[in-house]
C-alpha cells in the first residue's frame, strides 16, 4: 500500500512552500498544472505512486480533512502557504450557527482579550464538529480546549466566513464576543 501521508507532505512542499524550487508556477489563486505536479512526484518517487494515489490524497486524509483541491486540470493547496507564495482566496460563505475552534489553555488569556486571529496563518480555522476541533487542539501539545463559536451571530454582524472544504470554515479573525469559553477555563 502506498504511503499517502508521505505523498501529502510532498504535495505540501510543492504547493505550499517551495513551488519555485520545483519549477512550478502558482497562479493568483494558488493553482498550478496537475500534470507538472505529477511529473515532480514521479521524479522524486519513481514508480512508487500511481495517479489514483494522488487523487486519494486530494480527496482527503483518513480523518476527512481535505488539504488540496483539483479543478479543471489544476491543483492547489487549500490552506496556509509560506511567505512569498500568493494568498489563497475563497468565495464568502454563510456558516452554520455554531462552529468550533481547538486551541490550548495557554492561549486563552489572549483569545479572551483579542479574539481569534490568524497569527502566522492566512486564516483562522473553524471545525464543523468537536471531533475535528479536538484533533486540531491536541496537535499543539498543551492542554487542549474547545471553544464554541457563535458563527451565525458573527456572520450577521459582518464577519466574513469562507468554506473551502466540508469540515472547515475560515475567517480572517473573530472578535471575542462570539466565542463561548468552557466554564472551567474562567
- CATH numbers and ranges of domains, the chain: 4-77 (1.10.10.970), 99-185 (3.20.170.30)
For residues 161-173, give the mean pLDDT.
Answer: 89
Res. 82: pLDDT tops 60? no
For residues 44-64, give the mean pLDDT.
Answer: 85
| DSSP-assigned letters across all residues of 57-79 | HHH--TT----EEEETTEEEESS
Res. 34: pLDDT tops 50? yes
Least confident of 35-44, 46-55, 134-143: 134-143
For residues 158-174, give the mean pLDDT.
Answer: 91
Average pLDDT for the chain: 86
Least confident of 38-42, 70-74, 110-114, 148-152: 70-74
Rounded Cα distance, 13 and 21, in Å: 10
Rounded Cα distance, 169 and 129, in Å: 11
pTM, entire model = 0.66
Going by the DSSP 8-state scheme, the letter that residue 131 receives in this structure is H
> Which string of b and e fits 6-40 if b means at least 16 CB within 10 Å?
ebbebbbbbbbbebeebebebeeebbbebebbeeb
Q: How confident is the model at residue 177 (pLDDT cuts 50, 70, 90)?
A: very high
Amino acid at each position: 500500500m502506498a504511503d499517502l501521508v508521505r505523498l501529502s507532505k510532498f504535495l505540501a512542499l510543492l504547493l505550499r512552500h517551495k513551488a519555485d524550487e520545483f519549477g512550478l508556477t502558482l497562479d493568483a489563486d494558488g493553482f498550478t498544472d496537475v500534470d507538472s505536479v505529477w511529473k515532480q512526484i514521479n521524479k522524486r518517487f519513481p514508480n512508487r505512486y500511481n495517479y489514483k494515489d494522488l487523487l486519494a490524497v486530494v480527496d482527503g486524509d483518513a480523518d476527512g480533512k481535505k488539504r488540496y483541491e483539483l479543478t479543471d486540470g489544476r491543483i492547489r493547496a487549500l490552506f496556509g502557504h509560506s511567505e512569498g507564495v500568493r494568498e489563497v482566496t475563497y468565495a464568502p460563505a454563510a456558516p452554520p450557527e455554531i462552529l468550533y475552534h481547538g486551541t490550548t489553555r495557554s492561549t486563552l488569556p489572549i483569545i479572551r482579550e483579542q479574539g481569534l486571529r490568524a497569527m502566522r496563518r492566512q486564516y483562522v480555522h473553524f471545525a464543523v464538529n468537536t471531533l475535528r476541533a479536538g484533533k486540531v487542539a491536541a496537535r499543539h501539545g498543551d492542554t487542549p480546549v474547545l471553544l464554541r463559536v457563535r458563527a451565525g451571530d458573527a456572520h450577521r454582524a459582518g464577519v466574513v466566513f469562507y468554506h473551502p472544504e466540508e469540515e472547515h470554515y475560515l475567517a480572517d479573525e473573530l472578535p471575542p464576543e462570539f466565542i463561548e469559553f468552557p466554564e472551567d477555563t474562567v
